[in-house]
Amino acid sequence: MIRTTSLISDENGYKKYNLFEIQEDLIAIIADDYLSYASKDFKKESYCELMYKKNFYDKYDVETYKEVYEKYINNEKFKHKAKFIYSIIDYDKYVDFVEKNQTIENPNELIISYSVVDSDGVKINIYNIGISDIAFVF
């Protein structure tokens, strides 16, 4: 695992940091600006909305795919997870990764973990996503 951190806020000395733990094989699909996630420098909100619309609202008819709408599209928790994935994964790098890796032997080992750590050392795990989660939202 590769661990990276970045400061996302500093309010009166109380700091919060992004903490990413990325399995080495997935480094190839990470966006160059992933460390800005959840910070004041994050600039991908409209891109994430567009990708969610393209991959869910535009792809599934509400009448035909009622279960998909119920489980995924109208589920705020899932929507946040999908937008997180769109925030940190570079789509073009992901496509290249898929072309080079037609078969994945151990998909459960390809994990990205995202946590927030504060200046007091408190760590809150937010997401553990795998390659199957990533593939599903694209």
Residue with token string 């996302």: 8
Q: 0.95 cut: is pTM over it?
A: no
pLDDT number for residue 47: 97
Using one digit for the tens of pLDDT, what is the confidence trace for 44-67? Answer: 999 999 999 999 999 999 999 999
pLDDT number for residue 76: 95
pLDDT number for residue 50: 97
Angle at the Cα of 50 from the Cα atoms of 20 and 89, rounded to 5 degrees: 25
Contact 109, 87 (CB under 8 A): no
Structure tokens at 97: 């990764």
